[in-house]
Structure 1
Amino acid sequence: MTQTPVPVPPPNRMRALLSSLSVRVLAALALGLAAGAAVQVWGVPGGAGTTGMIDAVGQLWLNALRMTIVPLVFSLLVVGIATISDAAHTGRLARRALVWFGVLIAAASVYAVLAAYGLLALWPIDAEGGARLLAGIPPAPDNIGAVAPFSEFVKTIAPANVVRAAAEDAILGLVVFAVFFGFALTRLPARLKVPLVTLFEAVSEAMIIVVRWVLLAAPVGVFALAMGVGLSAGVSAAGTLAHYVSIVSLSVIGMILLCYPLAVVAGRVGLAKFARAVAPAQVVAVSTQSSLASLPVMVERAVDELDVSRQTAGLVLPLAVALFRMTSPVANLAVVIYCAHLFGLEPSLGQIGAAMLTAILISIGSVGLPGQISFFASVAPICIAMGVPLEMLPLLLAVEVIPDIFRTVGNVTADLTVARIVSQGEGVAVSVE
């Protein structure tokens, strides 16, 4: 049995750079809000001309991020589908793991919608604070957020013109086409398949490099956008951002807690035993914010504490790190639903369904990307599918470092849960200590 190769982690230098970038972006957000509040009181040299130029800088940075969405999402999905196809050929154990990945990702997307809407019903956005926050961001296009009937949603699933769909941000049709194209590649002979997969892998890597270049200017872009928000909302915008962080984090925490009874019931392991087994891996996840960095500890805990065979752990856990990220639809849908509430939108069932389907498919391709890159690449297509403007995302990117901790903990917990569940088909004895 051939194991699916594990993605190579980014160099320590890049990881340190991204970590430092998170700190600088957070600082830029705080300084931008404070500067905007100060300008609101004392004014700024140059008046409207200066503030207009600052707004233009923020919009330029946002547009630079947006230009990568279509090629990055399409290429990542094509490569991701090809990877899943290769994994399915590694044997019965891999196919069993893939089935559980699919079932849990689908269940997570349903949970995400229920959790986000439930939390916002119990703890709604402060209307005044939300209005002030929105007043400072660039205006959204008039055609964004319109509620389409379900029949229109059905028509968009298969785009009549893929190029036009890409140009008009009809992201669901583009995603569906990418999935079909990816599966079609798997039916080609190797001499045709390998060059095409390599091509799209190169495109995705090139787009990731472009995004990293754009993110190097993130402190400047976030400062400019935050200053515009500060001009309208002052420091009160910080309260709405803190509320956003809490809602997204609580959604992911709820999913983490659900992994425990799932492991007990489907994995047939005692609750205390499972909690003891996953705790060290969760600690590593908090400190590194990387599922890949947590992989050695996950394998060790699965084998020594969860009675998973080394062969099963050696295949399922790397496969999970490469292909399975259960928190992706949970957190990403929570972000988009929060933005919809912030803009006062009421998405139709068709738009919610499109967002859920997009979230599930996007989770395949975005696994393994650094948090700053995966946030925009994962959330923006879901926003477009639900009809939610993208203008809030740069500010939310600045505070993503906090929810990202819970995302990683959730991924690690879910990976170990699946490893234990899959091991039950390999004749592992029930353990309830």
Structure 2
Amino acid sequence: MQSTSPRRRGLFTSLSFLVLLALALGLGAGAAAQVNGLPGGAGTARAIEALGSLWLNALRMTIVPLVFSLLVVGIASIADAAASGRMAMKALTVFFILLVGAIIYAFAAGLGWLSVWPIDPAGGQALAGATAGRAEEVLRSVEGDGLTAFLQTLAPSNPIRAAAEDAILGVVVFAIAFGFAATRLNARLRQPMTTFFEAVSETMIVIVHWVLLAAPLGVFALSFGVGLRTGLSAAGTLGHYISIVVLCQLGLILLVYAVAIIFGRVSLARFAVAAAPVQAVAFSTQSSLASLPAMVDRARGHLGVSSATAGLVLPLAVAVFRITSPVANLAVVLYCAQLFGIPIGLEQILIGGIVAFAVSVASVGLPGQVSFFASIAPICIAMGVPVELLPLLLAVEVIPDIFRTIGNVTADLAAARIVEGGDHEAGKEAGAGI
């Protein structure tokens, strides 16, 4: 989870527990109804599942306006940061390189783990059973697609139509072009437009908050349908899913240590000792913002980072940099793809990588439960993977979310050390160039 107020953080912590409880109760109630029957029969089952579909559609309706507005505002903030000095530009370059590397790793790790430790066929079919029709529809739609089709989707001839048809890659490309074009305007025109899109994004987030308040009911309804069809056999697959996502993030954290050692020119022991207290704060709060004071203190006191570098790079990292976002998000999408039998080819990798990079920047600062759907659903849609399973995966996100935050703060410290380029003396020279 990223920056959010203590009150909201407490709300979402309580909500996470309720959603997880609703998942367990829904699966249990559905399994019991499968054995003992359900009052009202098929009519009652359809009504409960319709309630779950209504809740899912309420989440889906926010995706396009939220992603578009967040991208425009995010690009504007990055452009403003880049204009603030050479050190900020160097930091943004480091962030960009690390995010690209994380996306490449994400596909290698996600596909690799699912190849070595694939989804159990029986459990996977059970979990996918509730949306089998949708999966078959998507599978037919991606057959025959190739690099030519991918290139044709990069520039939508009609952005409004692309949004209406969930052609999310076209929407993302147009939003990126729109955002960068907006940075070329003078301040008199740019500021009110940026304020407008910031207001749109905040409005969408309020709607998502409202929808998430009904998450226990929505997740219960969706999981009830799964339990009714499959019994409790889907529970093991959910545990396997958590393991795959966490393993992908643990691998990324180990790579961040290697990057810090090689490019930050710091020993493993020194970096590990500096990062450990920050990681403890991240574990307990699940908030990069709450971990910022500890990051600044450890970077200055134990990593040889100057006050100037720590004071600029670390807040900027919290504001625009989430290295675990593409890794965790793509791990979820790749898991769903294997679950539904959706093939992952070169065009899906290219599309998924572009959208994953874009939403990792756009969704920074959103609470974990909000960013889960806002970040992953666009990637699913772009890669042709059904999103119907995401609400159930949201219910168990509380565990992967811990490792998201730990990975983010670890990468922030590594980035600060890399930007510093050495111990304190190098930082003084960098600070003088701001």
Deviations 1:306-326 (A, max 9, x none): 010011000000000000000
Q: Specify the SS of the correspondent of 1:294.
A: helix
Please report how far the alpha carbon of residue 14 of structure 1 lies from its aligned counterpart in structure 2 after TM superposition: 1.4
2:81 pairs with 71, 84, 87, which one?
87
* d(CA) in 2 for partners of 1:210, 1:429: 47
Name the residue aligned to 2:60: 66
Counterpart mapping for 1:40-59 below 5 A:
40-59=34-53
Q: Which runs of 5+ in 2 are unaligned?
A: 428-434
* Whole-angstrom CA distance in 1 between matches of 2:18 and 2:132: 23
Structure 2 partner of 1:126: 120
User: 3-state DSSP class of the match of 1:74?
Assistant: helix
Determine whether 1:266 maps to 2:260.
no
3-state SS, counterpart of residue 158 of structure 1:
coil
Aligned equivalent of 1:5: none
Matches within 5 A, 1:18-417: 18-137=12-131, 139-140=133-134, 143-145=137-139, 146-147=142-143, 148-417=145-414
1: CA distance, partners of 2:313 / 2:7:
29
Q: CA deviation at 1:234?
A: 1.2
C-alpha distance in 1 between matches for 2:361 and 2:14: 27
Change (3 A) 1:107 1:9: closer
Asked if structure 2 preserves the Cα contact closer than 8 Å seen for 1:59 and 1:138, the reply is no
Opposite residue 127 of structure 1, the aligned amino acid is P
| Partner amino acid, structure 1, of 2:98 | L
Amino acid at match of 1:367: V
CA RMSD in angstroms comes to 1.4
Give me the whole-angstrom Cα distance separating, in 1, the residues matched to 2:89 and 2:77.
13
- SS where residue 233 of structure 2 aligns? helix
Q: CA deviation at 1:191?
A: 0.6
Per-residue deviation at 1:136?
A: 2.6
Larger relative helix fraction: 2
Contact 1:74 1:178 in 2 (8 A): yes
Could you tell me how far apart the structure 1 residues matched to 2:320 and 2:359 are?
11
Superposition deviation, residue 367 in structure 1: 0.6
* Count of residue pairs the alignment pairs up: 423
Which residue identity is paired with 1:208?
I
Partner Cα separation in structure 2 for residue 317 and residue 81 of structure 1:
18
Which digits, 9 at most, give the CA deviation of each residue in 1:254-291, with x for residues without a partner? 00011111111100011101000000000000000011
Identify the match of residue 421 of structure 1 among 418, 423, 428. Answer: 418
Aligned residues of 2:3 and 2:366 also touching (Cα < 8 A): no
Q: Which amino acid aligns with 1:11?
A: S
Counterpart contact for 2:126–2:230, Cα < 8 Å: yes
Task: Tell me the distance in 2 between the aligned counterparts of 1:11 and 1:313.
Answer: 23
Q: Percent identity?
A: 63
Report the CA distance shift for 1:292/1:184 in structure 2 as closer, same or farther (over 3 A). same
Distance, in Å, in 2 between the alignment partners of 1:320 and 1:220 is 36
Letter matched to residue 394 of structure 1: P
Q: Deviations over 1:96-152 (max 9, x none)?
A: 000000001001000000000110111000001000111134731654241311100
* Residue 426 of structure 1, CA deviation: 8.1
Contact map agreement 1:136 1:231 (CA 8 A) in 2: no
Task: Kindly provide the CA deviation profile for residues 66-97 of structure 1, in whole angstroms up to 9, marking residues without a partner as x.
Answer: 00000000000000000000000110100000
- Distance in 1 (CA, whole Å) between partners of 2:233 and 2:348 is 31
Name the counterpart of 2:430. none
Give the whole-Å Cα distance in 1 for the aligned partners of 2:197 and 2:17: 32
1:340-398 C-alpha deviation (Å, 9 max, x unpaired): 00001112211111001100011111011000000000000100111101111010010
Q: What amino acid maps onto 1:20 in structure 2?
A: S
Corresponding residue for residue 4 of structure 1:
none
Contact kept in structure 1, 2:28 and 2:232, CA below 8 Å = yes
Q: Distance between the aligned counterparts of 1:414 and 1:124, measured in 2?
A: 29
Contact 2:135 2:385 (8 Å CA) reproduced: no
CA distance in 2, matches of 1:102, 1:139: 39
Scaled by the length of structure 2, the TM-score of the pair is 0.95
- Equivalent-residue separation in structure 2 for 1:427 and 1:357 (angstroms): 37
